[in-house]
């Protein structure tokens, strides 16, 4: 009986002591460089994993708003080899991309271009409401196939749903939206470049909430495969942001003047891929 009592007291004391201890901080993430492509890419602005074995790369190849038809899409393997430099041609400064079924959606300054993945040919386009002012930037596709597109110059978000293209949201509260990421059925993440913040938009009410700020020229947003996000700053930084808004800088190449544009994360390989824009290459890092 005494032994049981002593054991119980020790057990209770142990629980009390554990409860009093400060929480253990999560282990900081770090990036380890795995590979980089050669420099035959031409101003790569975004990279997108197809869910299989291919990375699609949008090459601006010129000025970011030029209507010159010089832009193109490349195909790169997961080990950094450029398999097809010019897979789809004739685009205008292509930037953000999204995939649904057999279609690739890519922004083209003032329009969204839909490309057949089997042929690399454009099959349809959707124009912004004011083509002369528009600067369509990033693309995200929700699980149900709804496409969202940011206009980072004109403070607008477009939506393509069930074949209908509409201006879904607009206003100064968007603060020059660049990166977009559909999360679940009810949320859209936006990288607001003007204020360097990651914001969450409720799809039903369109109310907005700042999740994290202080990230300069926010560009790409990708899920970390859990409840957090990787966010890039075009100037050369990459951050990890938890669902609760805690932020950690993982990469800083600003002194070397190497950009970090619209990133991608291949969760099954823990591979973060960074387009270097004027650096004309992709650099891949393992997340540890």
Residue 117's Cβ-count burial label (10 Å; 0-12, 13-18, 19+) is middle
* Contact residues for 163 (Cβ-Cβ < 8 A; gap 6+): none
Evaluate whether 211 touches 247 at the Cβ level (below 8 Å).
no
Residue 5 has pLDDT above 50, yes or no: no
List, for residues 138-154, the tens digit of each pLDDT value.
Answer: 999 999 999 999 999 99
30-287 falls under which CATH superfamily?
TolB, C-terminal domain (2.120.10.30)
List, for residues 100-121, the tens digit of each pLDDT value.
Answer: 999 999 999 999 999 999 999 9
List, for residues 214-258, the tens digit of each pLDDT value.
Answer: 999 999 999 999 999 999 999 999 999 999 999 999 999 999 999
Q: What is the mean pLDDT of residues 273-282?
A: 98
Q: DSSP for 31-78?
A: EEEEEE--S-S-SEEEEEE-SSSEEEEEE--S-TT--SS-EEEEEEET
- Residue 209's pLDDT is 98
Query: What's the rounded Cα separation, in Å, for the pair 193 and 213?
Result: 10
- Residue 25's pLDDT is 58
Query: What's the rounded Cα separation, in Å, for the pair 105 and 138?
Result: 10
- Residue 27's pLDDT is 80
Can you tell me which residue has the tokens 């002591």? 17
* Number of Cβ within a 10 Å radius of residue 223: 15
Residue spans per domain, the chain: 30-287
List, for residues 48-98, the tens digit of each pLDDT value.
Answer: 999 999 999 999 999 999 999 999 999 999 999 999 999 999 999 999 999
3-state SS assignment for residue 223: strand
* CA-closest candidate to residue 111, choices 93, 96, 125: 125
Rg (alpha carbons) of the chain, rounded to whole number: 22
Residue 285 has pLDDT above 60, yes or no: yes
């Amino acid at each position: 009986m005494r032994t049981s009592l002593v054991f119980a007291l020790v057990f209770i004391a142990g629980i009390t002591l554990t409860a009093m201890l400060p929480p253990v901080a999560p282990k900081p993430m770090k990036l380890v460089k795995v590979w980089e492509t050669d420099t035959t890419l031409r101003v790569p602005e975004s990279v997108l994993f197809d869910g299989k074995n291919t990375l699609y790369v949008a090459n601006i190849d010129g000025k970011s708003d030029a209507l010159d038809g010089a832009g193109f899409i490349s195909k790169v393997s997961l080990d950094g080899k450029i398999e097809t430099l010019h897979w789809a041609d004739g685009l205008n400064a292509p930037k953000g991309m999204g995939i649904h079924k057999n279609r690739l959606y890519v922004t083209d300054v003032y329009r969204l271009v839909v490309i057949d993945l089997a042929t690399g040919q454009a099959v349809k386009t959707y124009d912004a409401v004011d083509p002369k002012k528009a600067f369509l930037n990033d693309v995200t596709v929700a699980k149900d196939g709804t496409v969202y597109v940011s206009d980072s110059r004109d403070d607008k978000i477009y939506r393509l749903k069930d074949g209908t293209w509409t201006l879904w949201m607009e206003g100064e509260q968007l603060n020059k939206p660049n990166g977009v990421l559909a999360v679940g059925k009810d949320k859209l993440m936006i990288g607001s470049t003007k204020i360097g913040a990651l914001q969450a938009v409720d799809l039903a009410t369109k109310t907005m909430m700042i999740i994290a700020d202080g990230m300069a020229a926010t560009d790409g947003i990708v899920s970390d495969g859990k409840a957090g996000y990787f966010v890039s700053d075009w100037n050369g930084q990459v951050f990890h942001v938890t669902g609760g808004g805690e932020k950690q800088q993982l990469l800083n190449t600003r002194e070397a003047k190497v950009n970090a544009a619209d990133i991608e994360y291949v969760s099954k390989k823990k591979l973060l891929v960074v387009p270097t824009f004027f650096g004309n290459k992709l650099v891949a890092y393992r997340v540890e």
